[in-house]
Amino acid sequence: MRFQLTEDQRALQAGVRELLTRRFGREQLRAAVDAPNLDRALWRELGEAGFFALRLPEADGGVGLGLPEAVLAFEEAGRALLPGPLVATHLAAGEVPGAATGECVVAAVDGTLVEWLDEADTVRGDVTGAVAMRSADPLTPLHRVPRGASADPVAALLTAAEQLGSAARTCEAAVQHARAREQFGQPIGAFQAVKHLCAEMLVRVEVARVAVYAAAVTADPLDIAAAGLLADEAAERGARDCLQVHGGMGFTWESDVHLHLKRAWVRARRGHGAADAEEALAEHLLSPAAR
């Protein structure tokens, strides 16, 4: 047993991070907030890099990798706050023509919400009666649908991976700020109240990380349910604590913290949410298999 990233997986992680830093860095992120349209060129570039076709067999023109690699890529997308129906398009690769290459943007009903309905070329699921919302997340247009669709466990896992990336990023941002910002003649990171917030952020990230990675290896629905709960917690609480560490600046539109928090909220509402995951994990405790 070697529960560690392989060299190839590290290289993949670094490659995706490099691509996203170059193509969707801070400036592009803020530009997207001002004009929230889907960047089709970026979408195709992601397609070329294999983001959507990552798990498609090579015989079908895919990259032929597995869930662990997909999880690493989605973690990076979460870090970068990359907008768009990434999960839906990824899941459609090989089934919807053009999804694998990023030429076709695919949206899907997930729980009772649809993200990016108006921008999508194809929509999966029943969207009759869809009503547009004023989305809390400036980077994710949302519609409510009357008939919800049950979520795919893989969608839940990739969402958890995005949450993990976002949690890791807000932890880093909080630590950077805590080192730089001075009050009372010293960096605020020297104050224990701040230090302990940051330490708890890291602990939540590390716990979510192993849960998400393990679920990617086993693809077990219960592992995925657990990963979702821990990754939601890490992302939502991490963003809140990051906001707190940033003080008044954290409460501004200018800082990126709210973007992480709002996206974390959107992701946490995908699929069935926490209650179903907790019920499934509770039920499993009674099964003979759990002993």
Backbone φ and ψ for 58, nearest 5 degrees, come out as: -60, -35
Minimum CB–partner distance for residue 182 and another protein (Å) = 10
Rule CB under 8 A: is residue 187 a binding residue for another protein? Answer: yes
Binding to another protein (CB under 8 A) within 244-283 occurs at: 274-275, 277-283
Nearer to another protein, 35 or 275 (CB): 275
Contacts with another protein, 30-69, as mask; x by CB under 8 A: --------------------------------------x-
Six-digit token string for 125: 């699921």
When binding is defined by CB under 8 A, the residue of 41, 133, 199, 249 that contacts another protein is 199
Sheet of 131-132, strands arranged across: 122-124, 106-115, 142-149, 131-132
Q: Are 125 and 114 in contact (CB under 8 A)?
A: yes
Residues in the chain, overall count: 291
When binding is defined by CB under 8 A, the residue of 45, 103, 152, 206 that contacts another protein is 206
Nearest CA to 208 out of 137, 160, 273 is that of 160
Q: Are 54 and 73 in contact (CB under 8 A)?
A: yes
d(CA 159, CA 9): 19
Minimum CB–partner distance for residue 284 and another protein (Å) = 7
Rule CB under 8 A: is residue 219 a binding residue for another protein? Answer: no
Query: Which span (86-94, 119-127, 186-194, 249-257) binds another protein, by CB under 8 A?
Result: 186-194
Integer angstrom CA distances of residue 103 from 58, 121, 235 = 19, 9, 30
Q: Are 130 and 197 in contact (CB under 8 A)?
A: no
The site for another protein (CB under 8 A) is made up of 1-6, 9, 68, 175, 178-179, 186-187, 189-192, 194-196, 198-200, 202-203, 206-208, 210-211, 213-214, 216-218, 222-223, 225-227, 229-230, 274-275, 277-286, 290-291
